[in-house]
């Protein structure tokens, strides 16, 4: 699992999304969990 703060995630969004394809990614804002990409086997509807 990789963890990024909100600002880092925004700066490197394409890298974060590529990593999220293979492992869980946490994005934290002010020390709290803000987003977790934990649903791996769902297809995107578009």
- Sign (positive/negative) of CA torsion 34, 29, 32, 16? positive
Predicted local distance difference test score (pLDDT) of residue 27: 86
Predicted local distance difference test score (pLDDT) of residue 23: 87
Q: Is 28:6 a contact under the CB 8 Å cutoff?
A: yes
pLDDT in tens, 1-46: 888 888 999 999 999 999 988 888 888 887 676 666 665 555 555 5
Predicted local distance difference test score (pLDDT) of residue 35: 64
Q: What is the value of pTM for the model shown?
A: 0.64
């Amino acid at each position: 699992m990789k963890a990024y703060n909100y600002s880092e995630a925004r700066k490197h969004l394409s890298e974060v999304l590529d990593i999220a394809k293979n492992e869980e990614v946490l994005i934290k804002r002010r020390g709290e969990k803000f987003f977790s990409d934990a649903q791996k086997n769902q297809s995107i509807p578009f």
